[in-house]
């Protein structure tokens, strides 16, 4: 990043401060070589109720496995395409210095991976931050509504002070689905389509999961726009600090309660859990809180404080079965590597 | 707000400056207890021309009454649901510290208010800023196009210097309507709907109202995304400073002439009125300047400088009847309290 | 701009630095008088493949001619309307101090220009930055999908240091088209329309053009939202600095890899070309990468580094015929004036 050299005098104060932080990055930490295997499989997943969808799922799950590595790691991913259509993987946000042919764009950096073939991607995990990966063939269909996306989290060698305070690290990937094409793989994602299902990590309310916290927690919410539409995420009862955009630290974080997330964008929110209660988190694009033509679905979840519990007659989720890794929180706490999650596993579709 | 304690060193210069401002907040100012009564009524409102819409209107008006209080005030609102459907009120932006069960979310913080019932909300007005209130039942219909929203302005105990310069304080709430559902209350707001009417404070051009100013005025435009769509508001002839997001002060305001407002978001623009003329203000989502299939409608208005007058043969509004409280400007200048406005009053629908 | 006088203490550090920069503006530089003639013509343009569109094109081209002037220049534009419908030109971003009747808004600042008539606009080029011009009559049709827009670039008297480093200056105007109305001038651009073609400077992939660079280049990408939809532009392999919004310098630029551009907005990205390869640039609104119902079209292009060449069997554009002025790069390097480009010229439609 020689971006700083471009900055006019007026930005220098910040640039200098930023450089001080960056300068402390240790060059002594050793990069790991990490090798992962992934498949792409015709997979039936369930968004909510009886709404199934035919996807081309990484390792048979939507979202795909969490890839969690450290800045500077040398990453190798062997991908086997077990579907009947061509695919690639683009590592959205990775700079691919010296490895542009690993950027995963058909017709620009490689031929698409044919059905049955295995392809190997190799790159250095750079820069750090909230990144993601997705197919780059017919993105209008494959990314928008065949579930071909997963999180790629690159831990910084020298985390910023604000990151060190985080006690709970969660990932939310937002997507949109046109049920018209649910069982027509290879078709759809075209102008005029009506998106009628909306998901967080592949599930619509009430099949999403609560965010469980206790007073004093510092939550990092990694919002990823992985679908076709714009979302406007509202957090009740808290002021959130936007600390990262597209994985990169903002020199000047800003506060708010409602945040627009465009396709491909990432925003990391830092939220002090200082207000015990049950709180809604949802898309304020109101029609994104429907399941088909039914209201009170889609992109909605709650924050549940341990201090207040859930035993309220009015609480829709008071008897809900809790699945702890729904936001990849448990996986993010594990050592670096690739982390699959049963929560997201679909059903193999065999012809 | 302990957000500051999360900030890395690089943000400290700003944090310190911000703290200086915050530290001057007087703790001596006395909080008032404020008690308001509101109804929810089946109400016919007119968007423009002969386009009527069946709404569930707060106190029979769209937008609902202006609630204007001071930071720290103890607010009580008694709401009586006179419609035939359940509703709640969510106080968007209020932290509800210790009062989460007053957050107004059905199935999470309360049972929805049944037809005929009265429900009481109690909370402290915190934080200060441009907030709003709206129903949280079936938001895809009730908020998007049944007019269930109104402004909640919390005056800060210690206004920032930039706020003290403001001579004209105006509220603009943007909404979208699908005429297909105009006379079908309880239905609509579903994927595939075509929004074909677009309003500022419930009215479409040419039934909106001009913003009347004189040279030297400092206008605060409080933009509130209260509908389902994204708007891109362009101010002609002026550079505006974005000073607040979601009611909260931006440490680093930025300038522009066109501003995207997502659903649920608020942006406070500060504009120096230093350029006499007649100036258009409109949504640059061009199809939002239609009424049904007719062009030159929707989200458009003008800024009229006293210095140039309106007597021009080409001016569409040269003989327009002026309604002074259309942007709640007159009400905002009155003492704190609840302010209804005849401008927004609809017609009671009796079964 | 007396905006600074509005700022609270907390912003003063930045304001002062900004003033230092502004204070160095030389008042000795002489304003030029510049007189341009333009027509508006019924023009058939080709978006991609066999998708033609009936436009009302400035000088018979889409985008319209580049108007490139210096801050403070006195600009005169004589416009002759050779179509059968009324039009105007709004100079989006120009302050029009003392010249509000030249702002180009029918019914507010003038009568629309009747077919056959010539109208003269006169204004001072202020402020500097990435501006644009467009018709203001029935914008839902004329701007959205009749190609009535072009770039207006005002060079600052005293460029910021960041601008001086730029070696390649490019313009990208994004638009959306509903093919239903392609051959029905005077109709369309109404709610419910399906936009099914998406263009950069009037062309869809694969009829767009690559961005050719060499290592060490500093690219300025001037993104202009000239259509009806929101775009989310992703740059592969690079981190971009957002340095200007709506033509105006940001006191605090921020970084990212994906940028939302709303209708009417402009963002100037500064990108260090430090990573040789072939890189995709595209809209991450995935359905905006279709041509009609065909995938892999729309808003897509590539960055081609001289260092790596284009001779790869997998590269879709390896034999592409290069048109050097597609991003107005060659024109921007010429002396100030009006610059037409054969690349954008359509075919006159005669009744």
Domain ranges of chain B: 33-160, 162-329
Q: Which residues of C touch B320 (CB under 8 A)?
A: none
Beta bridge partners of C256: C240
Asked which of A116-125, B266-275, C10-19 is least confident by mean pLDDT, the reply is C10-19
- The Cα of B123 is separated from the nearest Cα of chain C by a number of Å equal to 30
What pLDDT does residue B7 have? Answer: 42
Residue pair A273/A181 in contact (Cβ under 8 Å)? The answer is: no
Per-residue pLDDT averaged across C326-342, rounded?
97
Q: Which residue is closest to A220 within chain B, CA to CA?
A: B6
Strands B278-283, B300-305: pairing kind: antiparallel
CATH of domain B162-329: 2.60.40.420
User: What digits encode the pLDDT tens for the residues A84-109?
Assistant: 999 999 999 999 999 999 999 999 99
- Reference B173, options B234, B254, B233; nearest CA is B233
Q: Is the pLDDT of residue B23 over 70?
A: no
Contact partners, residue B155, CB within 8 Å, separation at least 6:
B68, B69, B70, B71, B128, B336
Question: Which CATH architecture fits A162-333?
Answer: Sandwich (2.60)
DSSP C278-338: EEEEEESSGGGGEETTEES-BSEEEEEETTT-S--TT-TTTTPPP-TTTTSHHHHTSPSEE
Per-residue pLDDT averaged across C158-163, rounded?
95
- Tokens (6 digits) for C153: 């670039």
What pLDDT does residue C29 have? Answer: 59
Residue to test with chain B: of A20, A239, A287, most B Cβ within 10 A: A287
Q: Is the pLDDT of residue B284 over 90?
A: yes
Report in angstroms the alpha-carbon separations of C183 from C145, C177, C191. 11, 12, 18
Per-residue pLDDT averaged across B251-274, rounded?
98
Q: pLDDT: is C29 or A124 the higher one? A: A124
Q: Is the pLDDT of residue C311 over 60?
A: yes
Q: Is the pLDDT of residue C339 over 70?
A: yes
Q: Is the pLDDT of residue C309 over 90?
A: yes
What pLDDT does residue B4 have? Answer: 41
Domains B33-160 and B162-329 fall in the same CATH topology: yes
Residue pair C245/B256 in contact (Cβ under 8 Å)? The answer is: yes
- The Cα of B278 is separated from the nearest Cα of chain A by a number of Å equal to 32
CB contact under 8 A, C276 and A100: yes
Residue pair A82/A40 in contact (Cβ under 8 Å)? The answer is: yes
- Residue C30: pLDDT band (50, 70, 90) is confident
Question: Which CATH architecture fits B33-160?
Answer: Sandwich (2.60)
Q: Which residue has the tokens 């801050």?
A: C71
SS3 state at B33 = strand
Q: Is the pLDDT of residue C245 over 70?
A: yes
Per-residue pLDDT averaged across A113-121, rounded?
98
- Residue A220: pLDDT band (50, 70, 90) is very high
Per-residue pLDDT averaged across C188-196, rounded?
97
% of chain B with per-residue pLDDT over 90: 91
User: What digits encode the pLDDT tens for the residues B54-85?
Assistant: 999 999 999 999 999 999 999 999 999 999 99
Nearest CB among B241, B258, B314 relative to C265 is that of B258
Q: Is the pLDDT of residue B327 over 50?
A: yes
Per-residue pLDDT averaged across A155-159, rounded?
97
Question: Which CATH architecture fits C33-158?
Answer: Sandwich (2.60)
CB contact under 8 A, B2 and A260: no
Q: What is the mean pLDDT of chain A?
A: 93
What pLDDT does residue B321 have? Answer: 95
Residue pair B148/B55 in contact (Cβ under 8 Å)? The answer is: yes
Beta bridge partners of A173: A224
What pLDDT does residue B30 have? Answer: 77
- Reference B140, options C295, C310, A297, A142; nearest CA is A297
- The Cα of C177 is separated from the nearest Cα of chain B by a number of Å equal to 12
% of chain C with per-residue pLDDT over 90: 91
Q: Is the pLDDT of residue B8 over 90?
A: no
Asked which of B162-171, C8-17, C327-336 is least confident by mean pLDDT, the reply is C8-17
What is the CATH topology of the domain spanning C162-324?
Answer: Immunoglobulin-like (2.60.40)
% of chain A with per-residue pLDDT over 90: 91
Contact partners, residue A65, CB within 8 Å, separation at least 6:
A36, A38, A58, A59, A150, A338, A339, A340, A341
- Residue C11: pLDDT band (50, 70, 90) is very low
Q: What is the mean pLDDT of chain C?
A: 93
Q: Which residues of B touch A257 (CB under 8 A)?
A: 92-93, 246-248, 264
User: What digits encode the pLDDT tens for the residues A28-82?
Assistant: 457 899 999 999 999 999 999 999 999 999 999 999 999 999 999 999 999 999 9
Cα distance between residue A280 and residue A234, in whole Å? 8
SS3 state at B285 = coil
CB contact under 8 A, A241 and B92: no
Q: Is the pLDDT of residue B28 over 80?
A: no
- Residue B26: pLDDT band (50, 70, 90) is very low
What pLDDT does residue A29 have? Answer: 59
Q: Is the pLDDT of residue B98 over 60?
A: yes
Helices vs. strands in chain B: H and E counts, helices first: 4, 23
Q: Is the pLDDT of residue C2 over 70?
A: no
Q: Which CATH superfamily, name and number, covers A33-159? A: Cupredoxins -  blue copper proteins (2.60.40.420)
What pLDDT does residue A30 have? Answer: 77
Q: Which residue is closest to C259 within chain A, CA to CA?
A: A265
CB contact under 8 A, B232 and C264: yes
CB contact under 8 A, A92 and C17: no
Q: Is the pLDDT of residue B17 over 80?
A: no
Per-residue pLDDT averaged across B307-327, rounded?
97
Longest Cα–Cα distance of chain B, Å, equals 63
User: What digits encode the pLDDT tens for the residues B210-261?
Assistant: 999 999 999 999 999 999 999 999 999 999 999 999 999 999 999 999 999 9
User: What digits encode the pLDDT tens for the residues A6-24?
Assistant: 444 434 444 444 443 444 4
Q: Which residue has the tokens 């599930």?
A: A203
CB contact under 8 A, A230 and B228: no
């Amino acid at each position: 990043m020689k971006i700083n050299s471009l900055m006019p005098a007026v930005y220098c104060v910040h640039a200098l401060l930023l450089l001080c932080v960056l300068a402390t990055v240790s060059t002594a930490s050793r990069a790991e070589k990490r090798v992962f295997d992934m498949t792409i499989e015709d997979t039936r997943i369930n968004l909510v109720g009886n709404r199934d969808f035919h996807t081309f799922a990484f390792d048979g799950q939507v979202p795909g496995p969490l890839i969690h590595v450290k800045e500077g790691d040398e990453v190798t991913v062997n991908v086997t395409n077990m579907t009947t259509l061509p695919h690639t993987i683009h590592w959205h946000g990775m700079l691919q210095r010296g490895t542009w042919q690993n950027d995963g764009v058909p017709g620009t950096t490689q031929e698409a991976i044919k059905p049955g073939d295995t392809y190997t991607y190799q790159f250095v995990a750079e820069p750090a931050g909230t990144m993601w990966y997705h197919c780059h063939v017919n993105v209008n269909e494959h990314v928008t509504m065949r579930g071909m996306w997963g999180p790629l989290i690159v831990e910084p060698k020298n985390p910023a002070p604000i990151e060190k305070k985080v006690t709970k690290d969660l990932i939310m990937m937002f997507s949109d689905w046109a049920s018209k094409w649910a069982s027509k793989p290879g078709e759809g994602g075209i102008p005029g389509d009506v998106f009628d299902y909306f998901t967080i990590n592949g599930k619509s309310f009430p099949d999403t999961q609560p965010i469980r916290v206790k007073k004093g927690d510092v939550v990092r919410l990694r919002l990823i726009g992985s679908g076709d539409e714009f979302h406007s995420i509202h957090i009740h009862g808290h002021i959130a600090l936007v600390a990262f955009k597209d994985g990169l630290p903002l020199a000047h974080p800003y506060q708010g309660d409602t945040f627009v997330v465009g396709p491909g964008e990432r925003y990391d929110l830092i939220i002090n859990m200082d207000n015990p209660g049950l709180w809604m988190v949802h898309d304020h694009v109101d029609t994104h809180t429907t399941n088909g033509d039914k209201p009170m679905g889609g992109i909605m979840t709650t924050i549940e404080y341990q201090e207040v519990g859930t035993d309220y007659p009015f609480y829709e989720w008071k008897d809900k079965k809790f699945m702890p890794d729904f936001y990849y929180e448990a996986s993010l706490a594990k050592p670096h590597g690739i982390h699959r999650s049963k929560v997201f596993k679909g059903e193999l579709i065999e012809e």
